[in-house]
Amino acid sequence: MKQGGLQNYIIRRLFYAFLIAFGVVTVTFILLRVGPSSPADKYLANISSRTQDPAKVIEAVEARYGLDRPLYQQYFNYLVSLARGDWGWSFSTSLPVIELIKRHWIYSFQLILLSMLFASSLGILIGIYSAVKQYTKTDYAATFFSFIGISIPNFWLGIMLILVFSVQLGWFKTYYDTGLPLFSLANLKALILPVITLGTGMMAGYTRYSRSATLDNLRKDFVKTARAKGLPEYIVIGKHVFRNAILPIITIIMFDLAGVVFGGAYLTEIIFGIPGLGRISFNAIFANDYPVVITITLIGAMVVLLTNLATDIVYTWLDPRIRYD
């Protein structure tokens, strides 16, 4: 493949990602304006108890946030302020939203990162093992448990883990202790139950996918060749099968971010009281603190967008067979 082709491909992908980001922002803007209660109402819900004349407050709020201007101007202002990093003011916490995000993102990040590590490493290993031992008891057990893992609602699993390990056995605290330093063993211990809660469903999914991807590759001719050459089995599996099977699995892991991981992390944070982005969005919803809710929705979409972009680009390096023209 020509080097220029790859560069063009990456530039095209970047441009495309930019377009999608634009679309995402537009969709949130439209949803906000279509909704039955205007942003001014939500502001009002927070301050009306302290003031006398609601009509005047609405006017003031609309003027303050530019809501009395024509819609296209509002849209333009929305885009500009988002681009400038001015994401609004969170009244329930009396902080700029960006400051709130800065303080809390690390909790979500550590939870998601650890869960994905746990799920992908264990899931891929079990999947490959059960494919190699196809039609044995181990294989059936793995398939059965992955089915259960996929079907178990993760928020219920979290509650059951709390019930058994925290309430009955008393091994863990029922709530995540926010006072712990981030990089410490105690913090790692506190994250065990949340990581299992979030990771089990993903792990079960990866087990199934890597099992079937491995099975597909085990039947290929190059595996027969490798075996015929007399290579030891661990090299046949570890080098020839694994490297081909891992590609679709990486796509699925990245794709999971959009559907599974964020939703799961949101619920896990709520159940265990981890002060991550899901938890603050949850608090913001009940405080009618809408700049926080929008920002976190947008952040979720942007993370998905960037990981998709990264996956596409990393693919060019992982799989030299793909052509980009």
CB of 62 to another protein, least distance (A): 18
CB of 233 to another protein, least distance (A): 24
CB of 6 to another protein, least distance (A): 22
* Token pair of 297 as six digits: 């929705």
Contacting residues toward another protein, per CB under 8 A: 19-20, 23-24, 27-28, 31-32, 35-37, 147-148, 150-153, 155-156, 159-160, 162-163, 167, 174, 208-209, 212, 215-216, 257-259, 261-263, 266-267, 270-271, 281-282, 285-286, 290, 293-294, 296-297, 300-301, 304-305, 308
CB of 2 to another protein, least distance (A): 26
Q: Give the gyration radius of the chain's Cα atoms.
A: 24
C-beta closer to another protein: residue 187 or 275:
275
Question: Cα(87)–Cα(90) distance, rounded to whole angstroms?
Answer: 9
CB of 152 to another protein, least distance (A): 6
Residues 6+ apart with CB under 8 A from 100: 90, 93, 280, 292
C-beta closer to another protein: residue 30 or 318:
30
CB of 292 to another protein, least distance (A): 11
Check if the beta carbon of residue 309 is closer than 8 Å to that of residue 14: yes
Question: Cα(130)–Cα(305) distance, rounded to whole angstroms?
Answer: 33
CB of 23 to another protein, least distance (A): 4
- Can you say whether residue 85 is alpha, beta or left, with left for phi > 0 and alpha for psi between -120 and 50 degrees? left
C-beta closer to another protein: residue 232 or 241:
241
Q: Residue 90: which H helix or E strand, with range?
A: strand 89-90
Residues 6+ apart with CB under 8 A from 148: 204
Of 207, 221, 219, the C-alpha closest to 249 is 207
CB of 320 to another protein, least distance (A): 26
C-beta closer to another protein: residue 114 or 150:
150
SS3 of residue 94 by DSSP: coil
C-beta closer to another protein: residue 187 or 242:
242
C-beta closer to another protein: residue 150 or 188:
150
C-beta closer to another protein: residue 236 or 303:
303
- Alpha-carbon distances, residue 112 vs 85, 167, 274, 304 (angstroms): 24, 25, 12, 13
Please provide the DSSP assignment of 13-70 as one string. HHHHHHHHHHHHHHHHHHHHHHSSS-HHHHHHHHHGGG-S-HHHHHHHHHHHTTTTS-
Check if the beta carbon of residue 175 is closer than 8 Å to that of residue 272: yes
CB of 166 to another protein, least distance (A): 9
C-beta closer to another protein: residue 211 or 240:
211
C-beta closer to another protein: residue 10 or 150:
150
Check if the beta carbon of residue 278 is closer than 8 Å to that of residue 270: yes
